[in-house]
Structure 1
Amino acid sequence: MASARMVGKVIARGLGPVAAAMAPQAAGGALRRVLEVAIDGVGRLPSAKQVAARQLERHEGSVESAIEAVIDAHIRLGSAQGFITNLGGLATLAVTMPANVAGVAVVQVRMVAAIAHLRGYDINDDRVRTALVMCLLGGEQIAKGISNGALPTSPMAVATAPVFDPGLDRRVAEAVVSGLMSRVGGKNIALVITRRVPILGGGIGAAMDGIATYQIGKYAKSELARRRALQP
């Protein structure tokens, strides 16, 4: 099986064009491509269903143990790709930051998709895919969005809604891209400064992406309640 560092390199190399397009105004198209890569897999990057099936087999059919293993594996992947795409110092700052946006989005979406699949959701359903992307906002931001009217409801409710809402899908994509760009781009001045030191910047990138992946994984696990038997 490919190592976390190897997968990180594949993500960093392969998603440059996607990352370059990930401005809020192009968020829908960019995240649609990220969803395709994360859920369906590409090259040596296994699909979300393959990841889920592998962990389910390793844990003898225990869905909850498989979910915990999925989260742990993607925390390592998030840290690895964060380290790789944040190395290089000042000379490569403008290039690596957009790659990191796409890389961490792929890792986190695949993790959430694998959790959703293990819980019995149809991850090919557009409603579910909107919910998967919503989970990247995290519980606190989703609660704020519901409170201030920016979001109508929770990811689980979106995943099980009667119909797909293209307008909500677009708003969610824009919010997620803006959040990723803010975090990865470093509105925090201390992060921007330290990223100009190659090794220190890589270490901070790895830590931030690993922590964010952990938080999103735990939120998705708590939010996406079991629906039914696994989809084929």
Structure 2
Amino acid sequence: MGIFDRKKDTPTAPVATEDLGLLGSQATKFVERVLEIGIDGKGTFDSAQKVADDARRRRSDPERVVDDIVGAHLRLAAGNGFVTGLGGFVTMPVALPANVVGFYVVATRMAAAIAAVRGYDIQQPAVRSAILLSLIGADSDDLLKKVGYQSTGKLANLAADRLPGAVVMAINKGVGFRIITRMGRTTLTKLGRLVPVAGGAIGAGLDSYLLKKIADGVREQFPFKATLTSLPSEN
């Protein structure tokens, strides 16, 4: 999947990507919460940077560090306990099942932790947008075209770019919109009814499969940016 290579000239295409009504509002709230919890952490849910730093203390080989991060998040998804672990943090005024919101929070933290290990500043708006784009796979190409960019490179190219705030907002809202509409407009009309998309072993297995696909994409799209100095080992 080739994603994002900005042309030198600033694009003039409109940055509005999706409907500005209820779905647009929900999309914005969704991505704000996913970024807030998934990257910055909240309560007992560690930030992506802490996850990355802790993993680097345990391993000297950067690839093994990434393996550990992915493995830990796959176990979290397979155990189907991430919603319980997040508690009320996943509650938001967006009509999505709590387990769906929880999944994307976990996926965002995993992607951000991998990016941090590989040398990207996950506090930068463009990097955070690239992390969000990794959640929607091939849909990223279409979304980026809608905001006026050609998708001819890797997501890592986005990290070096200083995007206008309006473009960052359009990308983020577009990602949220894609995720929400994947769940179906019928679900969105049932405000207050948080119905699981799948339950039990089937749900946990599907979560793990989807998370692994996201992890594989992040590994490809965020190559090592620079040689990093390992943190001191605790062992």
Q: Give the alignment's TM-score, normalised by structure 1.
A: 0.68
**Any residues of structure 2 matched to 1:62-81 within 5 Å, and which?**
62-81=61-80
Query: What's the counterpart of residue 227 of structure 1?
Result: 225
User: Counterpart of 2:35 in structure 1: which amino acid?
Assistant: L
State the alpha-carbon separation in 2 of the partners of residues 126 and 35 from structure 1: 10
Q: Return 5+ residue gaps in structure 1 as ranges.
A: 1-21, 86-94, 188-195
Distance 1:53 1:177 in 2: 28
Asked whether the 8 Å contact 1:74–1:107 carries over to 2, the reply is yes
Q: Percent same amino acid at aligned positions? A: 31
Identify the match of residue 203 of structure 2 among 199, 202, 205. 205
Letter in 1 for 2:63: E
Q: Distance in 2 between the 1:211 and 1:182 partners?
A: 20
Match for residue 103 of structure 1? Answer: 102
Is 1:175 matched up with 2:177?
A: no
**Letter of the aligned partner of 2:105 in structure 1?**
V
Shift, 1:106, TM fit: 0.8
Who is 2:3 aligned against? none
Sort the Cα spacing of 1:37 and 1:127 in 2 relative to 1 into closer, same or farther, 3 A.
Answer: same
Q: Which has the higher contact order (CA 8 A, sep 6+)?
A: 2
Comparing 27-36 and 144-153, the one that deviates more: 144-153
**Do the aligned partners of residues 84 and 172 (structure 1) sit closer, same or farther apart at CA in structure 2, a change above 3 Å counting?**
same
Tell me the distance in 2 between the aligned counterparts of 1:209 and 1:74: 10
Query: What RMSD in Å do the two structures reach over aligned CA positions?
Result: 3.4
Comparing 45-54 with 214-223, greater Cα deviation is found at 45-54
User: How far apart, in 1, do the equivalents of 2:39 and 2:147 lie?
Assistant: 29
Instruction: Give the 3 Å change call, closer, same or farther, for CA 175–54 of structure 1 in structure 2.
Output: same
Number of residue-to-residue matches in the alignment: 192
CA shift at 1:113, angstroms? 0.6
8 Å Cα contact 1:39-1:49 kept in structure 2: yes
Map 1:1-232 to 2 at 5 A. Answer: 23-59=23-59, 61-81=60-80, 97-138=96-137, 140-145=138-143, 152-153=150-151, 154-161=154-161, 163-184=162-183, 201-230=199-228
Relative distance call for 1:35 and 1:83 in structure 2 (3 A) is closer
Judging changes above 3 Å, is the alpha-carbon distance between structure 1 residues 78 and 226 closer, same or farther for their aligned structure 2 residues? same
Question: Residue 226 of structure 1 aligns to which amino acid in structure 2?
Answer: F
Structure-2 change in CA distance of 1:84 and 1:131 (3 Å) = closer
Q: CA deviation at 1:63?
A: 1.0
**Contact 2:76 2:82 (C-alpha < 8 Å) held by counterparts:** no
Tell me by how many angstroms 1:97 deviates: 4.4
| Partner Cα separation in structure 2 for residue 186 and residue 205 of structure 1 | 20
Give the deviation of 1:37 after TM superposition.
1.2
Q: 1:98 to 1:165 in 2, by over 3 A?
A: farther
- Mapped partners of 1:164, 1:148: distance in 2: 15
- 3-state DSSP class of the match of 1:157? helix
Unaligned ranges ≥5, structure 2: 1-21, 85-93, 187-194
Shift of 1:24: 3.3
Query: What does the per-residue CA deviation read over 1:59-83, in whole Å, with 9 as the maximum and x for residues that have no partner?
Result: 2x21111111111211222333478
Task: Provide TM-score, normalisation by structure 2.
Answer: 0.67
Paired residue secondary structure (1:40): coil
| Distance in 2 of aligned mates of 1:179 and 1:76 | 26
Aligned to 2:192: none
Higher helix proportion: 1
